[in-house]
């Protein structure tokens, strides 16, 4: 997966200029999660209807939609739970991290 990089902010001119999703440079986390995440999102593919809402709302762009099914990059996911909150079919569970 293409990793985010820090870059100079410029005023977006069209919708395509807005950072969104893991396939674009999202300008957020540039180093892997340091182990402070307490919960991780887990997708239940039996319930997922592929609406891509989680992909659109993830603030760190770590949900990859380029494969056959959505994949979360746990190296960069901060465990904020926004994806779980926004998933209407309740297809994402926040699961406590193991020590
Ligand atoms: S928001 Fe939920 S149902 Fe929609 S694509 Fe993500 S996991 Fe699947
Ligand atoms: S928990 Fe937060 S950072 Fe991780 S995939 Fe969901 S929305 Fe993205």
- Is the C-beta atom of 82 inside 6 A of ligand 2? yes
Return the higher-pLDDT residue of 82 and 59. Answer: 82
Q: Whose CA is nearest to atom 2 of ligand 2?
A: 80
Given this model, what pLDDT does residue 24 score?
47
Reference 78, options 97, 64, 91; nearest CA is 97
The residue length of the chain stands at 99
* Ligand 2 atom nearest 61 alpha carbon: 8
Which tops the pLDDT comparison, 56 or 17?
56
pLDDT tens digits, residue range 20-79?
655 444 445 566 766 788 999 999 999 999 999 999 899 888 898 889 999 998 888 889
* Cα within 13 Å of Cα(6), Cβ side: 3
Q: For residue 53, give the ligand 1 atom closest to its CA.
A: 1
pLDDT tops 90 at residue 93: yes
pLDDT score of 13: 87
pLDDT attached to residue 36: 81
Is 1-99 a CATH 3.30.70 domain?
yes
**d(Cα 28, Cα 30) in Å, to the nearest integer?**
6
């Amino acid at each position: 997966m293409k990793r985010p990089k820090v870059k100079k902010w410029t005023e977006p001119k069209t919708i395509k200029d807005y950072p969104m999703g893991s396939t674009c440079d999202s300008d957020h986390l540039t180093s892997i999660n340091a182990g402070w995440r307490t919960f991780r999102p887990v997708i239940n593919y039996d319930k997922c209807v592929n609406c891509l809402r989680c992909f659109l709302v993830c603030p760190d762009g770590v949900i990859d939609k380029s494969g056959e099914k959505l994949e979360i990059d746990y190296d960069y996911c901060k465990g904020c739970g926004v994806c779980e909150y926004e998933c209407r079919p309740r297809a994402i569970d926040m699961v406590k991290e193991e020590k």
